[in-house]
Structure 1
């Protein structure tokens, strides 16, 4: 709004920008992309003297720091712990730009991603007679900064890219809803909007339906309790985690953690072995499948030590339409991983 106004005499703007940026940072949005908003805002105003630009930027930074101190005093009161925590949990450098584009594809659905991205880019086309597009420049600059910043780290989850989604959709949809002088173009825009809204509705409902359907982990846990006798040994590749594995009663069964090592599995020889989509190549397979898991799965399939007993799968579907999830981020597969139960070959019944 500040960039759209011809009169830049709104004196409290630097202070308000700093305060809102500080609040955003306190809400776990990333430091550099958040602080870049007030800084870029004043840099983009060509008619403002450089001395005033620097003054306004410093005011925004001061307000940013003050409001963050007020809302998050524990960050400062805990001394060096936050810095040590950041150093301990830091991620190595590895550009993940393509991976985040794929996350947007699976998160939004391909029609909405193409629709909003195309509209986002075309909305920055300068209209005839338009003298200033500073506000649009600020928006696209922030999206690019955030996208490049978050893509620098090896640790990758689809949810990390969420902050750009509202901006991408809001600006992108604006182009498609803007009337054109060409009648056929207006008709095309209307048809595109109807198609994308319909496709996105079906895709979104497919995910929502997973919450009213029986969860695959629950189904697998109930079956295991009813059909696997108490005292049996059950092998797993890692300590069971609630988002990846069926609930297993450790008082009722003997759990054997083999790791992703077929040799270890042959040595322990549990009666049953359980895998999920997160530990094997069983669809839907998440994008971040480590090489050791893929190797183990290939070796496990070739081995005749275990045979498939039963699997529990809840495909992503709605109104008879099934959507492909393989290659999606782990975040989107937590809802419905496939759980497969294997039985040791020759196990007496």
Structure 2
């Protein structure tokens, strides 16, 4: 690589890091991202209790251990520079002010997100250096990549490990050395140890070995095939050791996740098959032109019969098919395959430019400009007050302090007390007792600064069949002794009335599901119809709604049943979905 190319690449890396680190403090000192809160809380539990057992296997354990490692580094740095803070106080500080732990995790996420850009270049450069540069620019300005680098969660870290696995698998095909497939296998295990979906990256190793052996029969006899599986499994169990020691818990938690993915969020989804719906997420990630050029890139590579094409496409193809069968569909689920998708797009733009220079220049200009504008808008929105902050301020200014507020947000709306180290579900898990609070809801009081009663709403179940499946998962299948106190159908409205809840804070994602599902699930309709008939309903639009810019805060409304729409705009902020 020449000097100019090195400077250009470093320029891309610098820009990539800048757009990922800007507004890393978004939403703080409050907790905004749900997954970020989950990962951090379990990490805090491990740090304070001196155990490697997180008592949950909805996620593998590596993300929790990373929380402890990153938090420990922050703890050491703070004390070295005169902070003089003890271990317990440091970790407990998260529940009053999440800034330190959240910023530490997000900084780490921004760093590995930037390295993922570099890896995208390196993989693309295996095909052609210009393809590598174009692909790196595409993922640098991808709205999906930028948002995922702004929160400490499993998807960004899993994407980093999967990209490394694909990189070493392609290196193995080009340079048949043992270290390449061994490293690829290790990174597959680490990816799976961060989030189970990462395990499918192993198909890139198998694809490389298939083209080396040149037949499926030889592949099945290859030591690389079976050794890569063994290495990945070992790496996975090193990062999630209690999965091996607590097999019953993995069946319970993983089974619950399967029900969740294929059944939806308790039946509220009502959209096309995710195979189709996920296209909208890819448009969000690369723009409509960028996605169309992906198709062109795939065609060009296919016609050249480049073996690297088949190695590169194997993992994203398998991943897209599997996630496409789910009812639950979020943009972040596709971040894991964004690097290879960006490379296909980069190759398409490269071939367009090479064959039809004028058309290629126009397409490159439109694609890059579109993504750059979206990046600028996202960075601007991240600098605005988020929806939870606005909701909290409105509550403080308009609702009497002694009124009980119902919410699904829990401690994200108001911070919990120091003794709320673990969520209600965590306590039940740690004690091996009933998950009563998780399903019945819980009333707690905010710290002295607020002194407000908050009622965390219970899970709203879909129908009796879901409950039966969940019960069978916990007892019939594995003989697990946990006793669920789930009623056949939970009636949240009655629960709210019993707990004197007069105000309810909803989010756009639940309101949207209500609108989509009103003709399908009458039980939920009864609940939401009654909720929406009250004038005491706050709806925080924009919260966790992952299409286009719906990942970022937009607007808060008061809902009124008479108009079934907007009654009062609390604060004007650009909005992208007024439904």
What TM-score do you get using the length of structure 2 for normalisation?
Answer: 0.45
Structure 1 alignment gaps of length 5 or more: 315-324
Mapped partners of 1:343, 1:9: distance in 2? 66
The answer to whether the Cα contact below 8 Å between 1:234 and 1:272 also exists between their aligned partners in 2 is yes
The answer to whether the Cα contact below 8 Å between 2:409 and 2:456 also exists between their aligned partners in 1 is no
Mapped partners of 1:311, 1:20: distance in 2? 42
Q: Deviations over 1:33-64 (max 9, x none)?
A: 22222222222346469446522312222322
Report the Cα offset of residue 186 of structure 1: 1.1
Corresponding residue for residue 319 of structure 1: none
Q: Does 1:142 align with 2:315?
A: yes
The answer to whether the Cα contact below 8 Å between 1:234 and 1:256 also exists between their aligned partners in 2 is no
Corresponding residue for residue 18 of structure 1: 185
Q: How many residues align?
A: 317
Bigger shift: residues 106-115 or 56-65: 106-115
Of the three residues 196, 205, 226, the one matched with 1:58 is 226
Distance 1:74 1:60, change over 3 A: same
Distance 1:6 1:73, change over 3 A: closer
Root-mean-square deviation over aligned CA pairs: 4.5
Report the Cα offset of residue 147 of structure 1: 0.5
Report the Cα offset of residue 193 of structure 1: 1.1
Report the Cα offset of residue 143 of structure 1: 1.5
Corresponding residue for residue 227 of structure 1: 398
Corresponding residue for residue 339 of structure 1: 556
Bigger shift: residues 137-146 or 45-54: 45-54
Corresponding residue for residue 36 of structure 1: 203
The answer to whether the Cα contact below 8 Å between 2:386 and 2:552 also exists between their aligned partners in 1 is yes
Q: Deviations over 1:182-212 (max 9, x none)?
A: 4xx1111111111111111122222222221
Of the three residues 192, 195, 208, the one matched with 2:366 is 195
Structure 2 alignment gaps of length 5 or more: 1-125, 127-168, 264-272, 416-444, 461-490, 563-579
Summarize the alignment of residues 165-244 of structure 1 with structure 2, pairs less than 5 Å apart.
165-178=338-351, 182=355, 185-231=356-402, 233=403, 236=406, 238-241=407-410
Q: Larger % of helix: which?
A: 2
Mapped partners of 2:345, 2:316: distance in 1? 12
Corresponding residue for residue 280 of structure 2: 102
The answer to whether the Cα contact below 8 Å between 2:507 and 2:539 also exists between their aligned partners in 1 is no
Mapped partners of 1:176, 1:201: distance in 2? 17
Distance 1:46 1:196, change over 3 A: same
Distance 1:11 1:287, change over 3 A: farther
Bigger shift: residues 84-93 or 262-271: 262-271
Corresponding residue for residue 107 of structure 2: none
Mapped partners of 1:42, 1:108: distance in 2? 31
Q: Deviations over 1:258-312 (max 9, x none)?
A: 98888999999976665442343xxxx47996546677666777x5x6399x988
Of the three residues 306, 313, 336, the one matched with 2:535 is 306
Bigger shift: residues 46-55 or 137-146: 46-55
Corresponding residue for residue 322 of structure 1: none
Report the Cα offset of residue 150 of structure 1: 1.9
Report the Cα offset of residue 146 of structure 1: 0.8
Secondary structure in structure 2 of the residue aligned to 1:222:
helix
The answer to whether the Cα contact below 8 Å between 2:391 and 2:540 also exists between their aligned partners in 1 is yes
Summarize the alignment of residues 43-122 of structure 1 with structure 2, pairs less than 5 Å apart.
43-45=210-212, 47=214, 50-51=217-218, 54-55=221-222, 56-91=224-259, 93=262, 96-115=274-293, 117-122=294-299
Corresponding residue for residue 135 of structure 2: none
Q: Deviations over 1:73-110 (max 9, x none)?
A: 34324454333432343326365212222232334443
The answer to whether the Cα contact below 8 Å between 1:91 and 1:155 also exists between their aligned partners in 2 is no
Mapped partners of 1:210, 1:196: distance in 2? 21
Distance 1:12 1:279, change over 3 A: closer
The answer to whether the Cα contact below 8 Å between 2:192 and 2:198 also exists between their aligned partners in 1 is yes
The answer to whether the Cα contact below 8 Å between 1:3 and 1:134 also exists between their aligned partners in 2 is no
Mapped partners of 2:216, 2:257: distance in 1? 42
Corresponding residue for residue 71 of structure 2: none
Secondary structure in structure 1 of the residue aligned to 2:258:
coil
